[in-house]
């Protein structure tokens, strides 16, 4: 698909820099840039060449520049693409953009270059999203993820899965054409096996989200416990140590680091800590509702108990209420400095095998390193168990949708549901997977994704 109009935009940040780059893409890009360029005739230069010259407005020289010419289809957008490297003065940049518009370019909207790359079939949707992640990456872990995604690691696995599913769907749909004859083209046990195999591939992808999201946005941690258990003391102890390390870094914003700590390169975010700092703790009833709400959004829960007022029955009841799939609970027995002998027997029966237990003192800084290590190791374990990592909520939702439909298919097959109904679920799963790579997409979805890009990308 080739667009009629040629677009231009500043690809480097606004403001003064040593250099600035203006990008032009579309059928007429070489012709348009050539009309404001003094130097070689760009219309006859080879693709992938760098050309020295001047940008001129009639006779007036605007700047001395280098112009890169990339001819379709081997370019980022699959269209003719020209990049003008000029000096990074905002006046020069604006003048060149004005000239380009005067000569027939249109100013690009956010993400339009990448959107063209996608619509022209050069990259799939998840790769396009990885471009945005790459630009936003601020540490090695998120950079590594974006690079592997951009190179298609995640998409190629999905494409393979989708082909297997398509085979399945077409066999089933073939049966529908012969419904009067009551034939079975698709061997049911073979189908089941294939479904299991695909679920086997999808499940680790879904599970990898905890890690992928942690890398991208920080691991959400909730500190939960009864009033006076020591929650705010623990929060302060964890934050204070970290702050001592980061306060030397010039320009670090207090606000953003205040409620998060970095353990071995992974960011842990303490969620909803506002209430923790207030001395007047919320009324218990409100506290419980709030705690459960927090548990829903956490990846890790630090459940804190004061060993002085400990009741195992209550602890167990609370843990049962808090536990969720994919949430890691660490039971922290606080105030160890008080040297109270606690009765371990009941604990070992019911709780110890289910949750890691760490004996700490938030006030006296006992075993806080151990606690941090436990949090870090949990996240590291997630990484080890999955080779391909999902870090995008849109992808996660599509995978969950696919999983749900696949499981319905499985149930349908096992209970002898008609091929027609099974085929519907299969179609749904296919659609969900197609959404990720963009084989099934709509304008709203595309607008949503590319609208988040910066202009010039």
Residue 302's Cβ-count burial label (10 Å; 0-12, 13-18, 19+) is buried
Alpha helix (H) ranges present in 137-253? 140-150, 153-177, 188-217, 231-246
Q: Which residues contact 344 (CB under 8 A, 6 or more apart)?
A: none
Quick check: 184 binds ligand GDP (CB under 6 A)? Answer: no
Quick check: 233 binds ligand GDP (CB under 6 A)? Answer: yes
> Judged by CB under 6 A, which of 5, 337, 352, 420 binds ligand GDP?
337
Give the contact letters, 398-417, x = binds to ligand GDP (CB under 6 A), - = no. --------------------
Inter-residue contact 401 to 432 (CB < 8 Å): yes
> Judged by CB under 6 A, which of 51, 232, 267, 386 binds ligand GDP?
232
Q: Is 23 annotated for ligand binding?
A: yes
**Paired residues of 24 in beta bridges:** 8, 82
Give the contact letters, 279-308, x = binds to ligand GDP (CB under 6 A), - = no. --x---------------------------
Buried b (16+ CB within 10 A) or exposed e, 329-351: bbbbbbbbeeeeeeeeeebeeeb
Q: Is 142 annotated for ligand binding?
A: no
> Judged by CB under 6 A, which of 151, 338, 354, 411 binds ligand GDP?
338
Inter-residue contact 112 to 153 (CB < 8 Å): no
CA angle 380–381–383, rounded 5-degree value: 65
Quick check: 43 binds ligand GDP (CB under 6 A)? Answer: no
CA distance 73 to 63: 29
Q: Is 75 annotated for ligand binding?
A: no
Choose between 29 and 232: whose C-beta lies nearer to ligand GDP.
232
Quick check: 365 binds ligand GDP (CB under 6 A)? Answer: no
Q: Is 360 annotated for ligand binding?
A: no
Quick check: 77 binds ligand GDP (CB under 6 A)? Answer: no
The answer to whether the Cα torsion of 194, 195, 198, 199 is positive or negative is negative
Token pair in block for residue 153: 């690691």
CA distance 271 to 327: 14
| Integer angstrom CA distances of residue 279 from 228, 233, 284, 360 | 9, 11, 14, 22
CA distance 258 to 200: 40
> Judged by CB under 6 A, which of 28, 162, 231, 457 binds ligand GDP?
231
Q: Is 273 annotated for ligand binding?
A: yes
CB of 114 to ligand GDP, least distance (A): 46
Choose between 109 and 282: whose C-beta lies nearer to ligand GDP.
282
Alpha helix (H) ranges present in 259-311? 284-297
Choose between 266 and 305: whose C-beta lies nearer to ligand GDP.
305
Inter-residue contact 10 to 19 (CB < 8 Å): no
Q: Is 447 annotated for ligand binding?
A: no
Inter-residue contact 335 to 234 (CB < 8 Å): no
Residue identified by tokens 């957008």 is 77
Choose between 20 and 225: whose C-beta lies nearer to ligand GDP.
225
Quick check: 127 binds ligand GDP (CB under 6 A)? Answer: no
Choose between 364 and 380: whose C-beta lies nearer to ligand GDP.
364
Give the contact letters, 243-282, x = binds to ligand GDP (CB under 6 A), - = no. ---------------------------------x----x-
Choose between 362 and 398: whose C-beta lies nearer to ligand GDP.
362
Choose between 84 and 261: whose C-beta lies nearer to ligand GDP.
261
The site for ligand GDP, by CB under 6 A, has a size of 18
> Judged by CB under 6 A, which of 13, 15, 121, 227 binds ligand GDP?
227
Give me the helix-helix angle, 112-119 and 125-136, nearest 10°. 150
Phi and psi (nearest 5°) for 128? -65, -40
CB of 237 to ligand GDP, least distance (A): 8
Kindly state the helix (H) or strand (E) to which residue 322 belongs, with its residue range.
helix 312-322
Choose between 223 and 347: whose C-beta lies nearer to ligand GDP.
223
| Residue stretches of the annotated binding site for Mg(2+) | 232, 253
Chain positions contacting ligand GDP, by CB under 6 A: 225, 227-233, 276, 281, 334-335, 337-338, 361-364
């Amino acid at each position: 698909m080739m667009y009629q109009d040629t677009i231009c935009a500043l690809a480097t940040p606004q403001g003064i820099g040593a250099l600035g780059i203006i990008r032009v893409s579309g059928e007429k890009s070489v012709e348009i840039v050539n009309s404001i360029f003094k130097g070689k005739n760009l219309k006859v230069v080879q693709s992938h060449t760098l050309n020295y010259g001047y940008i001129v407005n009639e006779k007036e020289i605007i700047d001395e520049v280098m112009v890169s010419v990339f001819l379709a289809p081997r370019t980022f957008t699959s269209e003719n693409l020209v990049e003008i490297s000029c000096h990074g003065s905002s006046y020069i940049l604006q003048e060149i953009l004005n000239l380009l518009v005067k000569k027939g370019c249109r100013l690009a909207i956010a993400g339009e270059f990448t959107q063209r790359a996608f619509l022209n079939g050069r990259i799939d949707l998840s790769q396009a999203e990885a471009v945005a992640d790459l630009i936003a990456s601020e540490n090695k872990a998120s950079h590594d993820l974006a690079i592997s995604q951009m190179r298609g690691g995640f998409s190629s696995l999905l494409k393979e899965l989708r082909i297997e599913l398509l085979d399945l769907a077409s066999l089933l749909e073939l049966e529908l054409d012969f419904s009067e004859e009551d034939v079975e083209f698709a061997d049911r046990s073979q189908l089941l096996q294939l479904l299991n195999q695909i679920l086997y591939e999808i499940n680790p992808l879904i599970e990898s989200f905890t890690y992928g999201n942690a890398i991208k946005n920080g691991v959400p941690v909730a500190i939960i416990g009864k009033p006076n258990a020591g929650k705010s003391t623990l929060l302060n102890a964890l934050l204070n140590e970290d702050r001592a390390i980061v306060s030397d870094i010039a320009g670090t914003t207090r606000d953003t680091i205040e409620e998060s700590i970095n353990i071995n390169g992974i960011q842990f975010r303490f969620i909803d800590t506002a209430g923790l700092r207030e001395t007047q703790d919320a009324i218990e009833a409100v506290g419980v509702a709030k705690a459960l709400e927090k548990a829903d959004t956490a990846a890790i829960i630090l459940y804190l108990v004061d060993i002085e007022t400990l009741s195992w029955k209550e602890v167990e009841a609370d843990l049962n209420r808090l536990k969720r799939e994919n949430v890691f609970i660490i039971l922290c027995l606080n105030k160890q400095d008080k040297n109270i002998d606690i009765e371990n027997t009941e604990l070992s029966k019911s709780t110890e095998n289910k949750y890691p237990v760490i004996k700490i003192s938030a006030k006296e800084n006992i075993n806080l390193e151990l606690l941090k290590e436990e949090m870090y190791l949990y996240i590291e374990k997630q990484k080890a168990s999955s080779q391909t990592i999902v870090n995008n909520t849109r992808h996660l939702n599509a995978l969950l949708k696919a999983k749900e439909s696949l499981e319905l298919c499985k149930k349908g097959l096992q209970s002898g549901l008609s091929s027609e109904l099974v085929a519907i679920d299969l179609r749904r799963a296919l659609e969900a997977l197609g959404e990720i790579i963009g084989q099934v997409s709509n304008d709203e979805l595309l607008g949503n994704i590319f609208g988040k890009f910066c202009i010039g990308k």
